């Protein structure tokens, strides 16, 4: 059965994946303003970490009694490396696409089980900009993720 389309369920889906992933040490949901300084202030913080951004939510209706909320979102896998150590930076960058590909595997498996709908075609993996990342290296995956809202929109 497809997941119910609410923000708590959306966040929990990715939190569970991140917690179960052997290479991920911390999960954060929030805006850029909340950011890394907040995460680093927590005693349980460690690298690499997953940062799930606030989604833009668009409702999609197929006109056949099936309504979804489509979450347009970015999620990043970030590690830290010294700015004067190119080999460490390459290693930190390399973790990002690997972790994001593991997420794509989960999205594909859950799509096949009809738990979610998520199209893999066109998903973008891009390096995290060093203009704001403060010595953090990694990759961001941008995609759309659908969850069903029929139980909400078809109430009597």
* 128-154 tens-digit pLDDT: 876 555 678 899 999 998 988 887 887
Q: Which residues of the chain have pLDDT under 50?
A: none
Mind listing the pLDDT tens digit for each residue in 113-124?
999 999 899 999
Within-domain flag for 120: yes
Phi, psi of 142 (to 5 degrees): -115, 130
Going along 19-153, which residue ranges are E strands? 26-29, 49-52, 56-61, 67-80, 124-127, 136-148
Q: How many domains is the chain built from?
A: 1
Domain range holding 123? 7-153
Under DSSP, is residue 155 helix (H, G, I), strand (E, B) or coil? Answer: coil
Within-domain flag for 129: yes
Within-domain flag for 1: no
Within-domain flag for 26: yes
Within-domain flag for 105: yes
């Amino acid at each position: 059965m497809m997941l119910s389309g609410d923000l708590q369920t959306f966040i929990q889906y990715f939190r569970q994946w991140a917690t179960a992933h052997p290479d991920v040490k911390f999960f954060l949901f929030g805006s850029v303003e909340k950011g890394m300084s907040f995460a680093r202030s927590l005693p349980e913080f460690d690298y690499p970490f997953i940062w799930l951004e606030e989604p833009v939510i668009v409702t999609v209706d197929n006109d056949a009694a099936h309504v979804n909320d489509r979450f347009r979102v970015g999620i990043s896998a970030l590690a830290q490396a010294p700015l004067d150590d190119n080999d460490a930076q390459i290693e930190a960058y390399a973790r990002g696409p690997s972790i994001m590909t593991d997420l794509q595997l989960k999205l594909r498996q859950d799509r096949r089980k009809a738990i979610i709908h998520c199209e893999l075609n066109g998903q973008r993996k891009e390096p995290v900009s060093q203009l704001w990342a403060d010595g953090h290296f990694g990759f961001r995956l941008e995609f759309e993720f659908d969850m069903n809202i029929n139980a909400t929109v078809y109430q009597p």
